[in-house]
């Protein structure tokens, strides 16, 4: 939505905002994605154990409905607050240095609006971290409805045209609209969460900082590999000029937005698998894994077909600049044809997290990122923007291949996929 409104202002504004948004996403997601993923698995396991206990105390087989005390939730929230403040300070005071790293010199017409935009977006970093963490918590509850209801799009639809056009704030208005919407979403989700759990622990010793830091450390390395590759891609696109950068921003927004559809499926699979394994129910985990991979592949192929036919029309929602649209049309193949790979890559990520296979997820991504980054450093200089898109498609292909090979292993965490568990009963003993 933000990109669509900014695109109406012109190619320079769209290109400058695109660079700033890329930097913001890189920094804010550096710790956000590990925290979200680890929180989903930890909360799912914690919630499953507490639900089992509650069911024993209920009447007529119905569990007692009460606010739960979950240390996994309290730990995630405290980490989100700390990380959000650090990210905000880093983005606000380091905006100029980050733009330099992206190859945007002070002589570029995109430099001044990009720095102003990034500094304002930095104010929303705490809300973004909190919102993503809260999404992970609700996913752990297997509740995907609440995050959908807590959307700031309705407010943003009003704020964008009001601040950007009526008050004539331009890209500054776009940044302010986004920040306000982000805080509204964060507060709404906290309000709903407070109805279900006690937000703060009875004592600091009950927090699970050790578990979060250990698992999050692996995913931090994984996220660094992804973001480094994306950064190289954005940097190479920015060096092609404002028009190419604007076109790249449009293609990336569509590419990432559509990919989030399958990411939601992966998140559901992660929560279901983590819950099943915490109970020793390998049969259910096996069924969920097979089902989600089939649905993911089907979804990816369907999305590829839909985008292939509709991408030209979608692009006009972001800009009416004829030169930018001409470049965007060369990215149709990248955006559409890569969707099956995107779908499977995201789903394999969810499966890795569901079985807490964080070390493999990190190491495989580092290898894939290194290969793709090398490709991006050299190929775009020879063939231009298509080289950037080919490099990103290569990254998704390598992620998919790594997930597939891990699933084939009979000695790793997916051993149960290669055995007939129909008659097997796995006894689960509560360690408490």
Residue 314 tokens read as 């979608």
Q: Does residue 221 sit within a domain?
A: no
Residues 244 and 131 in one domain: no
Rg over CA atoms, the chain:
22
243 and 193 co-located in one domain: no
Domain-located, residue 425: no
Mind listing the pLDDT tens digit for each residue in 119-170?
999 999 999 999 889 988 888 888 878 877 776 667 777 888 888 888 888 8
Positive or negative, the Cα torsion across 72, 75, 78, 80? negative
Do 198 and 259 have their domain in common? Answer: no
In a domain, 219, yes or no: no
pLDDT in tens, 379-408: 998 888 889 999 999 999 999 999 999 998
- Please report the pLDDT score of residue 65 as a whole number: 54
| Whether residues 114 and 26 fall in one domain | yes
Q: What range defines the domain where residue 150 resides?
A: 1-212
pLDDT at 376: 93
Distance CA 43, CA 39 (A): 6
Neighbouring C-beta atoms of residue 261, cutoff 10 Å: 16
pLDDT at 153: 63
pLDDT for the residue numbered 384: 86
Is 313 domain-assigned? yes
> Is residue 426 in some structural domain?
no
Q: For the chain, give the percent of residues with pLDDT over 70.
A: 90
What share of the chain in percent tops pLDDT 90?
A: 21
Beta bridge partners, 197, equal 68
Distance between CA 100 and CA 265 in Å, rounded?
Answer: 37
Q: What is the mean pLDDT of the chain?
A: 83
Please indicate, yes or no, whether residues 328 and 406 belong to a single structural domain of this protein: yes
Most confident of the ranges 32-46, 149-163, 260-274, 377-391: 377-391
Shared domain check, 241 and 116: no
Q: How many CB atoms lie within 10 A of CB 169?
A: 15
Query: What pLDDT was estimated at residue 429?
Result: 41
User: Which domain-ending residue is among 177, 212, 247?
Assistant: 212
pLDDT digits (tens, 9 = 90+) for 82-98: 999 999 999 999 988 88
Q: Which residue has the higher pLDDT, 213 or 377?
A: 377
Residues 252 and 323 in one domain: yes
Residue 31 included in any domain: yes
Same domain for 6 and 134? yes
Mean pLDDT of 371-383: 92
Residues 63 and 184 in one domain: yes
Co-location of 237 and 207 in the same domain: no
Q: What is the number of structural domains in the chain?
A: 2
Q: Are residues 272 and 200 in the same domain?
A: no
Q: 14 and 101 share a domain?
A: yes
Answer whether residue 430 is part of any domain. no
């Amino acid at each position: 939505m933000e990109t669509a409104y900014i695109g109406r202002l012109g190619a320079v504004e769209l290109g400058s905002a695109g660079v700033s948004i890329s930097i913001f996403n890189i920094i804010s997601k550096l710790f956000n994605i590990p925290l979200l993923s680890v929180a989903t698995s930890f909360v799912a396991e914690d919630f499953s154990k507490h639900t089992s206990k509650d069911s024993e105390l209920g009447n007529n087989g119905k569990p007692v409905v009460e606010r739960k005390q979950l240390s996994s939730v309290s730990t995630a929230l405290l980490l989100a607050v700390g990380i959000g403040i650090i990210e905000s300070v880093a983005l606000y005071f380091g905006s100029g240095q980050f733009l330099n790293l992206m190859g945007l010199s002070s002589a570029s017409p995109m430099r001044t609006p990009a720095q102003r935009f990034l500094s304002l977006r930095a104010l929303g970093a705490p809300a973004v971290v909190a919102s993503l963490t809260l999404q992970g918590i609700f996913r752990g509850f297997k509740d995907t409805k609440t995050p959908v209801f807590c959307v700031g799009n309705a407010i943003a639809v009003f704020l964008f045209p009001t601040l950007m056009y009526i008050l004539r704030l331009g890209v500054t208005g776009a940044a302010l609209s986004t920040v306000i919407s982000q805080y509204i979403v964060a507060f709404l989700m906290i309000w709903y969460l407070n109805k279900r759990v006690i937000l703060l622990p009875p004592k600091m010793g009950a927090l699970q900082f050790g578990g979060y830091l250990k698992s999050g450390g692996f995913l931090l390395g994984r996220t660094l590999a992804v973001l480094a590759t994306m950064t190289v891609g954005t940097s190479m696109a920015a060096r092609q000029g404002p028009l190419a950068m604007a076109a790249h921003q449009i293609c990336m927004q569509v590419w990432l937005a559509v990919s989030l559809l399958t990411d939601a499926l992966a998140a559901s699979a992660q929560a279901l698998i983590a819950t099943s394994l915490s109970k020793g129910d390998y049969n259910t985990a096996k069924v969920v894994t097979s089902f989600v991979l089939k649905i993911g592949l089907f979804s990816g192929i369907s999305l590829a077909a839909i985008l292939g036919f509709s991408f030209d029309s979608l692009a006009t929602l972001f800009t009416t600049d004829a030169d930018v649209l001409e470049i965007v049309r060369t990215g149709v193949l990248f955006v559409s044809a890569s969707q099956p790979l995107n779908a499977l890559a995201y789903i394999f990520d969810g499966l890795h997290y569901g079985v807490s296979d964080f070390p493999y997820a990190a190491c495989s991504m580092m290898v894939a990122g290194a290969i793709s980054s090398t490709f991006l450093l050299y190929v775009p200089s020879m063939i231009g923007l298509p080289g950037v898109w080919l490099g990103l498609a290569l990254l998704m292909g390598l992620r998919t291949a790594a997930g597939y090979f891990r699933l084939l292993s009979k000695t790793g965490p997916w051993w149960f996929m290669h055995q007939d568990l129909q008659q097997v009963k796995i006894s689960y003993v509560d360690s408490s």
